[in-house]
Structure 1
Amino acid sequence: MASSYPTLAPFVMKRPWLNNLLKPVANWYINAAGYRKLGLRADDLIVEENENVIKALKRLPPKEAYDRVYRLRRAFQASTVHKLLPKEEWTKPEEDVPYLQPLIDQIHAEEKEKQALDSLTVIRKH
Structure 2
Amino acid sequence: MTAPSLYSAIAKRPWLMKMIMPIAGWYSNAAGYRQMGLRADDLLVEENEPVLKALGRLSPKESYDRIYRIRRATQLSLQQKILPKNEWTKPEEDVRYLSPILEQLAAEAKEKDALDTLTILKKH
Structure 1 residue 6, shift from structure 2 partner: 2.1
Q: Residue 114 of structure 2 aligns with which residue? A: 116
Structure 1 residue 62, shift from structure 2 partner: 0.2
Give the structure-1-normalised TM-score: 0.95
Matched, 1:90 2:62: no
Amino acid at match of 2:100: P
- Secondary structure at the counterpart of residue 106 of structure 2: helix
Q: Residue 53 of structure 1 aligns with which residue? A: 51
CA distance in 2, matches of 1:41, 1:61: 16
Structure 1: where are the runs of 5+ without partners?
none
Pairwise CA RMSD: 0.9
Matched, 1:18 2:12: no
Structure 1 residue runs of 4 or more that deviate by more than 4 Å after TM superposition: none
Seq. identity, %: 62
Q: Deviations over 1:73-122 (max 9, x none)?
A: 00000111000011111101111011001111111111110110000000
Give the structure-2-normalised TM-score: 0.96
- The count of residues paired between Structure 1 and Structure 2 equals 124
Contact 1:38 1:78 in 2 (8 A): yes
CA distance in 2, matches of 1:4, 1:114: 18
- Secondary structure at the counterpart of residue 92 of structure 2: helix
